[in-house]
Amino acid sequence: MKNKFLHLIIGLFLLSMATACCDKKETTEVRKGNYRIVDNTIVFDEPQRIEGQKSVLQFTVDPIENVRIGFIGLGMRGPDAVDRMTYIDGVTVNALCDIEPDRVEAVQTKILEAKGLPRAAAYTGREGWKELCERDDIDLVYICTDWKTHVPMAVYAMQHGKHVAVEVPAATSLEECWQLVDVAEQTQRHCMMLENCCYDFFELTALNMAQKGMFGELIHGEGAYIHNLEPFWHEYYENWRLAFNQNHAGDVYPTHGLGPLCQAFNIHRGDRMKTLVSMGTPSYNGKKIAKEMMNVDDFANGDMTTTMIQTEKGKTLLIEHNVYTYRPYNRLYQLTGTDGFANKYPIEGFTVLEDKFPAGFLPEGVKLNPHGFVPAEVREKIMKEYLHPIAVEIEEKAKEVGGHGGMDFVMDYRLIYCLHNGLPLDQDVYDAAEWSCLGELTAASIANGGMPVQMPDFTRGDWNKVQGYKHAK
């Protein structure tokens, strides 16, 4: 009997051990190029910060009294950028560069000379930009070229001691994103992505309201770039934009929708984007356009791409991209908080609880509906009274100069203001990398059936050192 009992105990012990072994989940890992699939999550390689390389979080340089600028790319966006800078004191346009000599000459005569300003040094051809970056009388290189040349030009400029402002997206691959970060840290130079939507008057107002607690705790945001580009495809030099979309899946142009959200949600300033999942439709209209314009049969980019992002704190962001289908322009910007809501496109409005406003703010007799937008008269008062301080000081001039309703000018003004005063820029190189990296990450998620992707930490652990996004004063 004693032996039988002993055998029973031993048997139960062995059974429990076997069960425990079976229950223990083994980590599965598969290598695919520059990423691994670990337990059904895509994990991209993240290079370590090398010895001697320093973070540029909240980075500043000595004030630059007169900012000497060299512009590269004078096609669609460049001439307007040159023109806007002529309205800002303490700026000198010292150099201009474009592949086409006629474009350089047009800016010289129609903008600089027409305003009584001296002609700038001129560079042309496909390598002229290097000579511009090598000049010793340039503080800032302003890049308005095709996407594929952004990083080579930005890197070369920083390596030659220049600060950089580069159009969106700043980079087109994860490797390029890390390259921008590393070179900015190595050279201790500014690298700002020119995300103008962060300076839209509605976005700035909503950001100011969110920072004042008008919406409670923000829990969800939505952003988009939905813009049928059919009338514009032919305006891109040598079809570069359509060719890029032909060869790249995913959200290749995420920053207009993502940038303002990241500021509102304090990304790498107390929170960070942790995981994304992306899905895309097949290409119908994109493929048709590419066949007509480029005589190609294959087209990688789906007509509609939808991406969901979760932050370290569990908040969610929804980002959409569609430049092919016939629908109204929609640069969605939406904030959902525990106590309120803001929405831009297709209907602009706010939902705010009455007790969030100071006494006397609401017109007599006006009652707010927590299930609808505030009345038009209240919305207009909000846009006036809660307009962000940086917009208040420059609003009139910005609307006069123009550029997407003035937001382009506010962007340039803030860039120069921060350089003049030795302040951190509104958007740093980590923003440039975080907002741009969605291209490759969403493509990987789509290629693997909507598999989650772990988002890189470009700050390398510093994302929680600064608490709350702020515009430097």
Residue ranges of domains in the chain: 67-194, 198-390+427-454
Give the bridge partners for 93, in sequence order. Answer: 69
pLDDT in tens, 58-79: 999 999 999 999 999 999 999 9
Q: How far is CA 150 from CA 8, 172, 192, 326, in A?
A: 72, 9, 12, 30
Q: How confident is the model at residue 458 (pLDDT cuts 50, 70, 90)?
A: very high
Q: Is there a cis peptide before residue 346, judged by omega within 30 degrees of 0?
A: yes
β partners of residue 68? 92
pLDDT digits (tens, 9 = 90+) for 41-51: 999 999 999 99
For residue 177 the two structure tokens come to 């994103």
| Average confidence score pLDDT of the chain | 95
User: 238-286, pLDDT tens digit by residue?
Assistant: 999 999 999 999 999 999 999 999 999 999 999 999 999 999 999 999 9
Q: Yes or no: is domain 67-194 CATH 3.40.50.720? A: yes
Superfamily of domain 198-390+427-454: Dihydrodipicolinate Reductase; domain 2 (3.30.360.10)
Interval 278-307: pLDDT, tens: 999 999 999 999 999 999 999 999 999 999
Q: What is the pLDDT of residue 8?
A: 45
Percentage of the chain lying above the pLDDT 70 cut: 95
- pTM of structure: 0.94
Cα dihedral 368, 332, 285, 234 sign: positive
Distances 206 to 101, 249, 390 between C-alpha atoms, Å: 43, 32, 13
Q: From CA 102, how far away is CA 237, in angstroms rounded?
A: 14
Residue 43's alpha-carbon distances to 33, 103, 315, 452, in angstroms, are 11, 44, 20, 9
The HSE-up count of residue 15 (CA atoms within 13 Å, CB side) is 6
Q: State pLDDT tens for residues 348-379.
A: 999 999 999 999 999 999 999 999 999 999 99
Q: Among 183, 191, 323, which residue's Cα sits nearest to residue 244?
A: 323
Chain centroid to CA 134: how far? 28
pLDDT of residue 11: 52
Nearest to 223 by CA among 244, 241, 200, 242: 200
- β pairing state of 218-226 and 333-337: antiparallel
Give backbone dihedrals phi and psi of 65, rounded to 5 degrees, phi first: -65, -45
Residues contacting 109, CB < 8 A, separation 6+: none
Q: How far is 147 from 128, CA to CA, in rounded Å? A: 17
Confidence of residue 310 (pLDDT cuts 50, 70, 90): very high
Instruction: Taking residues 425-429, report their average pLDDT.
Output: 98
Reading the block at residue 461, the tokens are 């652990």
What is the Cα–Cα distance from 445 to 41, expressed in whole angstroms? 9
Tell whether the model's pLDDT for residue 19 goes beyond 80: no
What pLDDT score was predicted for residue 343?
98
Measure the CA–CA gap between 295 and 301, rounded to whole angstroms. Answer: 16
Distance spanning both ends of the chain, measured CA to CA: 86
Residue 456 · residue 174 · CB < 8 Å: yes
| pLDDT tens digits, 218-228 | 999 999 999 99
Q: pLDDT at position 10, please?
A: 52
Please, are residues 317 and 299 in contact by the beta-carbon 8 Å criterion? no
Among the ranges given (22-26, 183-187, 429-433, 439-443), the one the predictor scored with the smallest mean pLDDT: 22-26
- Sorting pLDDT into bands at 50, 70 and 90, what band is 27? confident
Q: Which residue has the tokens 């004030």?
A: 63
3-state SS, residue 49: coil
Distance CA 345, CA 334 (A): 9
Q: Is 336 left (phi over 0), alpha (psi -120 to 50) or beta?
A: beta
In the numeric block, the tokens 């890197």 are attached to: 155
Phi-psi group of 449: left, alpha or beta (phi > 0 → left; psi -120 to 50 → alpha; rest → beta): left
Amino acid at 225: Y
Q: Name the helix (H) or strand (E) containing 410.
A: helix 407-421
Burial class of residue 169, CB neighbours in 10 A (0-12, 13-18, 19+) = buried
